């Protein structure tokens, strides 16, 4: 079975903004936070927000303190006025496009126009907008409903997630009646793109899976469009709703999602589809797929990648053979990555949800392996030198407690830091620095080499670029997960576009330094070959930018393979020299 993920699947701009406002409020206030109605039409997201003390209310009567968040769909004028009169602090998460529609309605209602809203009766957004029509509003769900619209001056707008074809039909029928018709196409462009993409995707697959809340109008519309094209379509909220029988005979399956569907839920659905696909294959294929899945999701691949990068760095500085260092680095990196999954359940739930099935299935074995690897790294480092062992003990303890609360809750409410993870950019920079120190110090200590400035700086820059790129790329595609767990990563702090520019700049700077260092003999000539490893990084960053690497497991495999590219280039140089 081949699985095609729609590029536009997942949170739209308005939903991202609303969730950001809610999470920022939760971090700032900590308690007594409410949303007037569900913040967005995603039961899973609303449930997760409740875990962060953000509760849904339908009436503010009786609330004497705290913060109320206006949901993305907005609220009517009566509710807004009641909120303003209340003692509650208000945070407005209304989608900017909905605010624009509201302004249009208010303007023309005051001028005596009949306001026609092309949308779904009873939908939260439509109900809120009707309140600003001063009693002159009417909702049109079907083109035939136009006959019930009073004749005269008419202003027509659309629910932001409406289907554009219906909107055009309604406008045509209104104009055919004669009279003044003011038309404002207020359909969100993202909605149109999703609908066009689902049409294109449905035309090439045997089945479509639409992920999102059953109460989400835009998600239901995607499913309706797909069914209308004669394609077997499943509108689901949870991956467990899909069965092997549902997809029997389907060789190509498309996946799309509504504007309120979080990435971690989409990843779980894709993971479910992959398992259903593997179950169809023969025993050999299932064994191979299961092995690959365990190696990647069980963090074995990244641990081996750490050993591979250590080898490349040691060769670059003529510090070879350094077998103990390579083995130590591999054990250390595997141990930290795998154990961190179990020191913070929330992290794995949102950040790397596609790994959950493996992490749960092999929990005892992975925890035991992680602890054994940590112990192995310490023992091997002791064979290198006492200083290396001290470094490894410190690094291992730091990595294990990274997700654990170490600051008392009362003090944490003041300083806003309770775990090492809470420090801004700690994951991106901390991961890169931990790897770099391991790659540089261990081989030097094992072979008794000094740390001359120019060679050390060159290797540091090379290793930093390789690891920083991998860490930051994964954070780019997991921004929603980081928001949910409170990680202030670089993509969250400076935005996706600036992060890509920064990432590219770091890699190009490392390439420039590597050229100079190789030319002046600060490192050996393998430096020229390692330019290809950095070029590989630029290629996968470019592929991500073109939305070719948004599938979680594929993204991680491609990023981690960069370390093996560096290892292979170093091995080639050793052979040739």
Q: Are residues 255 and 385 in the same domain?
A: no
What is the spatial distance between Cα 563 and Cα 310, in angstroms, rounded to a whole number? 9
The reply to whether 335 and 214 lie within a common domain is no
The residue with greater pLDDT, 244 or 99, is 99
In a domain, 5, yes or no: no
Residue 74, domain CATH: 3.40.50.11270
Residue 412 shares a structural domain with residue 266: no
pLDDT at position 348 is: 66
Q: CA-based angle 18:22:24, to the nearest 5? A: 115
Residue that is last in its domain, among 33, 65, 94: 94
User: What's the pLDDT tens digit per position in 113-159?
Assistant: 999 999 999 899 999 999 999 999 999 999 998 988 988 899 999 99
Q: How high is the pLDDT of residue 140? A: 93
Q: Which residues contact 368 (CB under 8 A, 6 or more apart)?
A: none
Tokens linked to 140 = 């049109």
Asked whether residue 542 is domain-assigned, the answer is: yes
Q: What is the pLDDT of residue 347?
A: 66
- Kindly report the backbone phi and psi dihedral angles of residue 184, in degrees, each rounded to the nearest multiple of 5, phi listed first: -130, 110
In a domain, 29, yes or no: yes
What digits encode the pLDDT tens for the residues 462-487?
999 999 999 999 888 877 777 777 77
Question: For 534-556, what is each residue's pLDDT tens digit?
Answer: 999 999 999 988 877 767 888 89
Q: What is the DSSP string of 366-432?
A: HHHHHHHHHHHHHHHHHHH-HHHHHHHHHHHHHHHTTTS--S-HHHHHHHS--SGGGSTTHHHHHHH
- Same-domain status, 505 and 535: yes
**Cα–Cα separations (whole angstroms), residue 30 to 22, 40, 69, 70, 559:** 11, 20, 14, 18, 36
Is 568 within the bounds of a domain? yes
Q: State the pLDDT confidence band at 356, using cuts at 50, 70 and 90.
A: confident
- Has residue 32 got a pLDDT over 80? yes
Is-cis flag, bond preceding 321, omega within 30?
A: yes
Tell me, what CATH number does 139's domain have? 3.40.1010.20
Question: What average pLDDT does this structure show over 428-449?
Answer: 91
Please enumerate in sequence order all residues whose Cβ is within 8 A of that of 176, keeping only pairs 6 or more positions apart, or say none.
Answer: none
Q: What is the rounded CA–CA span in Å between residue 5 and residue 568?
A: 32
What three-state secondary structure class fits 11?
coil
Burial 82-108 (b: 16+ CB within 10 A, else e): bbeebebeebebbbebbeebbebbeeb
* Same domain for 37 and 50: yes
Q: Is the pLDDT of residue 334 over 70?
A: yes
Q: Which of 56, 68, 118, 128 is nearest to 98 (CA)?
A: 128
Closest C-alpha among 255, 250, 248 to residue 222: 255
Same structural domain, 27 and 103: no
Which residues have a catalytic role annotated? 125
pTM summary value? 0.82
Buried b (16+ CB within 10 A) or exposed e, 140-172: bbebebbeebeeeebbbbbbbbbbbebbebbbe
Cβ atoms 503, 469 nearer than 8 A: yes
pLDDT at 403: 74
Domain ranges, residue 223: 191-284
Angle (deg, nearest 10), helices 426-446 and 386-400: 160
Among residues 142, 168, 187, the one where a domain terminates is 187
C-alpha distances in angstroms, 38 versus 87, 143, 162, 279? 21, 30, 20, 38
DSSP 249: T
Which residue among 261, 284, 307 closes a domain? 284
- Report residue 177 as tokens: 């009646």
Average pLDDT for 12-34: 87
Q: ∠ CA 92-96-99 to the nearest 5 degrees?
A: 80
pLDDT at 409 over 70: no
* Contacts (Cβ under 8 Å, ≥6 apart) of 305: 333, 560, 561, 562, 563, 564
Would you say residue 6 lies in a domain?
no
Q: Are residues 139 and 202 in the same domain?
A: no
CATH number at residue 556: 1.10.600
The total number of structural domains in the chain stands at 4
| 139 lies in some domain | yes
Across the chain, what does the average pLDDT equal? 90
């Amino acid at each position: 079975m081949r699985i095609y993920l729609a590029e536009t699947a997942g949170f739209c701009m308005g939903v991202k903004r609303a969730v950001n406002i809610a999470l920022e409020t939760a971090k700032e206030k900590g308690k007594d936070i409410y949303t007037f109605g569900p913040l967005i039409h995603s039961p899973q997201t609303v449930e997760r927000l409740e875990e962060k003390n953000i509760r849904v209310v339908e009436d503010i009567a009786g609330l004497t303190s705290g913060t109320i968040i206006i949901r993305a769909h907005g609220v009517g004028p009566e509710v807004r006025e009641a909120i303003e009169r209340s003692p509650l602090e208000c945070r407005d998460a209304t989608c900017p496009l909905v605010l624009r529609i509201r302004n249009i309605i208010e303007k023309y209602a005051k001028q005596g126009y009949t306001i026609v809203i092309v949308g779904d009766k009873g939908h939260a957004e439509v109900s809120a907008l009707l309140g600003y029509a001063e009693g002159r509003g009417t909702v049109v769900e079907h083109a035939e409903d136009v006959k019930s619209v009073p004749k005269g001056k008419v202003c027509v707008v659309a629910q932001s997630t409406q289907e554009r074809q219906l909107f055009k039909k309604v406008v045509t029928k209104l104009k055919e009646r004669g009279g003044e018709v003011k038309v404002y196409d207020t359909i969100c462009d993202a909605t149109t793109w999703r609908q066009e993409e689902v049409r294109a995707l449905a035309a090439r697959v045997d089945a479509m899976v639409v992920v999102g809340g059953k109460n989400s109008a835009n998600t239901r519309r995607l499913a309706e469009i797909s069914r209308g094209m004669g394609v077997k379509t499943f509108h689901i909220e949870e991956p467990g709703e899909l069965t092997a029988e549902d997809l029997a005979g389907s060789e190509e399956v498309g996946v799309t999602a509504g504007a309120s569907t979080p990435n971690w839920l989409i990843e779980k659905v894709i993971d479910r589809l992959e398992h259903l696909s593997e179950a169809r294959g023969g025993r050999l294929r299932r064994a191979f797929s299961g092995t690959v899945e365990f190696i990647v999701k069980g963090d074995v691949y990244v641990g081996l990648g750490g050993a591979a990068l250590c080898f490349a760095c040691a060769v670059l500085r003529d510090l070879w053979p350094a077998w103990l260092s390579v083995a130590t680095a591999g054990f250390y990196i595997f141990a930290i990555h795998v154990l961190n999954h179990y020191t913070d359940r929330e992290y794995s739930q949102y950040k790397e949800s596609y790994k959950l099935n493996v992490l749960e299935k092999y929990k005892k074995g992975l925890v035991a392996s992680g602890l054994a690897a940590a112990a192995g790294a310490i023992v091997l480092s002791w064979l290198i030198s006492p200083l290396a062992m001290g470094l490894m003990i410190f690094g291992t303890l730091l990595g294990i407690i990274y997700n654990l609360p170490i600051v008392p809750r009362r003090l944490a409410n003041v300083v806003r830091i309770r775990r090492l993870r809470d420090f801004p950019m700690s994951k991106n920079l901390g991961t890169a620095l931990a790897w770099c120190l391991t790659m540089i110090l261990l081989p030097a200590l094992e072979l008794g080499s000094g740390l001359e400035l120019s060679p050390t700086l060159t290797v540091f820059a090379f290793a930093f670029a390789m690891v920083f790129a991998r860490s930051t790329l994964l954070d780019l595609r997991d921004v929603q997960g980081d928001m949910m767990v409170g990680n202030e990563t670089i993509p969250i702090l400076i935005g996706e576009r600036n992060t890509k520019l920064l990432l590219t700049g770091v890699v190009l700077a490392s390439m420039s330094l590597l050229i100079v260092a190789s030319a002046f003999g600060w490192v050996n000539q393998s430096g020229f070959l390692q330019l290809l490893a950095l070029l590989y990084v630029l290629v996968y960053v470019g592929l991500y930018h073109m939305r070719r690497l948004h599938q979680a497991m594929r993204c991680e495999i491609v990023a981690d393979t960069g370390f093996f590219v560096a290892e292979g280039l170093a091995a080639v140089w050793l052979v040739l020299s």
